[in-house]
Chains A and B, each alone.
Chain A
Amino acid sequence: MNVESRKRSLRYFFAKVVEPLGYKFTPDAELAEYLLEQETHLEEKHGSPFCPCQGLTQNHEANMKIVCPCIPFHREHFDYMKRCWCGLFVQKDVSDPDSLPQISYEEFRKAKDASGSGEGR
């Protein structure tokens, strides 16, 4: 399967997964195309469409948590940012994705600890 065809398949599949989670593709079409293309390359090389912005390690279980769309494994963190880490998906009410910074998991955890709630990893 060529890259363009695989990107179309991933887009179709991902939309079905993220929609019920309250997310949509980023309105930044250029960014979405770039990230999907990187994912097809990662899939070709490593077997799954891993997140292009998180590192693969020797830990298989940890790696499975960064297969796109990885929102269910990082739900509270991503909900807090209103986007996933790589920015391929944003929450449905987001129209200006550039306004959303990446907030590290550690910063998110500190903020949650301060408010008395959070998620484990």
Chain B
Amino acid sequence: MKNVRMYTLSTCPWCHKTKKYFTDHNIPFKYVDYDLQPPQEQEKIEQEMSKRGGAVSFPWVLIGDDLVVGWNPAKYDELLALSKASSR
């Protein structure tokens, strides 16, 4: 199974939905609420986002090496299905 980690905002309803999606599908994930981090940590997160060519938009979800920015359950489904296929 691919590793899933995400950057989220505590104020963002789409981030809450994203966490719920992975919880409901029993997919383990790690998350960091960007807005609750100290400025130095936020800067590190921004650098990672920028390195991957993204704006500071949330939810920011990394499924394996695939980045999905935004609430997009169809894309999560697709990437998780690929993940299941490749782990066979």
A residues neighboring B (CB under 8 Å): 31, 34-35, 38, 41-42, 52-58, 62, 85-87, 101-107, 121
Q: Which of A34, A54, A101 contacts B57 (CB 8 A)?
A: A54
Question: Given the complex of chains A and B, what is the CA–CA distance between A103 and B71 in angstroms?
Answer: 8
Distance in Å: Cβ of B64 to nearest Cβ of chain A? 17
Tell me whether B11 and A41 are in contact (CB under 8 A).
Answer: yes
Once A102-B72, A104-B69 are accepted as A-B contacts, the answer to whether A58 and B14 lie under 8 Å apart by CB is: no
B9 touches A55 (CB 8 A): yes
Contacting pair A55 B56 (CB below 8 A): yes
Residues of B within 8 A of A34 (CB): 13
B6 within 8 A of A: no
Complex: A58 Cα to B74 Cα, angstroms: 33
Contact for A55 among B13, B34, B53, CB less than 8 A: B34
Partner of B70 from the list A38, A56, A57, A103 (CB cut-off 8 Å) is A103
What are the residues of chain B within 8 A of A106 when measuring CB–CB?
Answer: 53-55, 69
Given contacts A52-B9, A101-B74, contact A57 B56 (CB under 8 A): yes
Tell whether, in the assembled complex, residue A104 and residue B55 are in contact, meaning their CB atoms are under 8 Å apart.
yes
Contact A102 B56, CB 8 Å, known A53-B9, A58-B39: no
A62 CA / B49 CA spacing, docked (Å): 15
B56, A54: Cβ atoms under 8 Å?
A: yes
Q: Mark B1-29, 1 if CB is under 8 A from A, else 0.
A: 00000000101111100000000000000
